[in-house]
Amino acid sequence: MIRYVVTINSYENRNDVIYYTIRVDGSNFHKILYKRYSDLKVLKEQLYQKNNEFKLKLTLPKFPKKKMFGSTKNSQSDIKSRAQELQQYLETVFNIPALQSFQFVKEYLPKVQLPDETCRLDQFDSQYSKDLCWLQMDELKKSFLQRQDLFQSTKKSKQKGNKNSVYYQRFHFTINEFAIQNDFVQYFITLIDTKKTTKYQFQTRYSNLRDFHQLLEKQQFKNRLPHFPKRRLIGQTIDNPQQIKERLEQLQKYLNEIFSVKEFAESEPLLYFITRIKLEGKPIRQDQAERVSQFSQQVNGSSFNISQGIEELREQKSY
C-alpha cells in the first residue's frame, strides 16, 4: 500500500487570495497543486457526502476552521499555521484507502504505476516467462484482434439499446458457496481481475449488493442497468435452500453483466466496489497455468498464443 506524504511549505498571494503550494509524494512520484482554502473546503464537503452516500462509516479528520475574527491572509503567522493544519488534514485523508478510488481524491494524488501493472519489453525472451506482464499482454491481445478484423462484430452491438464499442471485461465473478448466519445469507464471492495475478475472495450479503445497485440507479447512464434480483414478497430466502441457490446464480449473473459494460464498470460506485473488495477480501495468488487459461479464454477462440504475442510485441517495439 502506497503511503502519501503531504507538505505545504509555501504559498502565493494572487489578487489578494492565498494559494497554498501543496506537494503530494507517493512512492517515487509526486504532484504539486495550488489550492485555496475554499478549494479544500469543497474537498471536505465531498468527502462527507461520499461517506454518507456510500455508507463508509469513516471517522474523518476535522477540517481547519475559519478564523472567528479578522482574515487569515492579513497575518503571515496565521497563514503558516493554517498551512500546517491543512497539511495534516490532507495527509490523513489521502492515506485512507477507502477514499482513494473516488475521482475527486485521485485528482490530488500523483499517478503511480504499480509494478505488477507495467513492464518493459526486455523482460520477454523467446519462451514464456513467469514475469510476463499481463497488462501489456492485454493491450497486445486487443491489437491482435484488431488485425484479425474481429472488431467488425461491433455492428451487432449497434442494435437498439446497445451502442457500446467492444469492451474487454476486466472483472469476473463466481459465487460457489454460501452460509446461513442468524437471519441472513452470507455469499462467498471470488473476484478475478484479468489484469492482475491475484484473485480475491470476499463475503457479502444480498442487502450490501442491493445498496450498490441503488447507487448505480442514481447515476445517469446511457445504457439500461440489468435487473437486480428481487426480494421475496412472502417468507425469507433463508428458509429454502433451493431459493438460496437460485439467488446465488442470479447475483453471479448480475455482477458479471454489470461489469461487462464499460460505462457501468468505470462508474464511481463500481470503482469503489472493487477497491473495497481488494481492501477487505482475501487475496489468492493465481498459478501460471490458471493465468494462461484465463488469458486464452479472453481471445474468444482466436488463434492467438503467447509466443505469437511476444513476437508481435517485438514488432510493435521496432515501429
Kindly give the confidence (pLDDT) of every residue in the chain, 319 residues in length, as a single tens digit, with 9 standing for 90 and above. Answer: 789 999 999 999 999 999 999 999 998 899 999 999 999 999 999 999 999 999 999 999 999 998 777 788 888 999 999 999 999 999 999 999 999 999 999 999 998 654 444 343 344 343 334 434 444 455 555 555 554 444 444 445 445 555 445 788 999 999 989 998 888 899 999 999 988 878 999 999 999 999 999 999 999 999 999 999 988 755 566 668 888 999 999 999 999 999 999 999 999 999 999 999 999 999 988 765 555 555 555 544 444 444 554 554 455 444 4
HEC-encoded secondary structure of the chain: CCCEEEEEEEEEEECCEEEEEEEEEECCEEEEEEECHHHHHHHHHHHHHHHHHCCCCCCCCCCCCCCCCCCHHHCHHHHHHHHHHHHHHHHHHHCCHHHCCCHHHHCCCCCCCCHHHCCCHHHCCCCCCCCCCHHHHHHHHHHHHHHCCHHHHHHHHHCCCCCCCCCCCCEEEEEEEEEEECCEEEEEEEEEECCCCEEEEEEEEHHHHHHHHHHHHCCCCCCCCCCCCCCCCCCCHHHCHHHHHHHHHHHHHHHHHHCCCHHHHCCHHHHHHHHHHHHHCEEEECCHHHHHHHHHHCCCCCCCCHHHHHHHHHHHHHC
What is the domain class of 4-106 according to CATH?
alpha beta
Intervals of CATH 3.30.1520.10 along the chain: 4-106, 169-297
Domain 169-297: which CATH number of 3.30.1520.10, 2.40.50.140, 3.40.50.970, 3.30.70.20: 3.30.1520.10
pTM of the model: 0.67
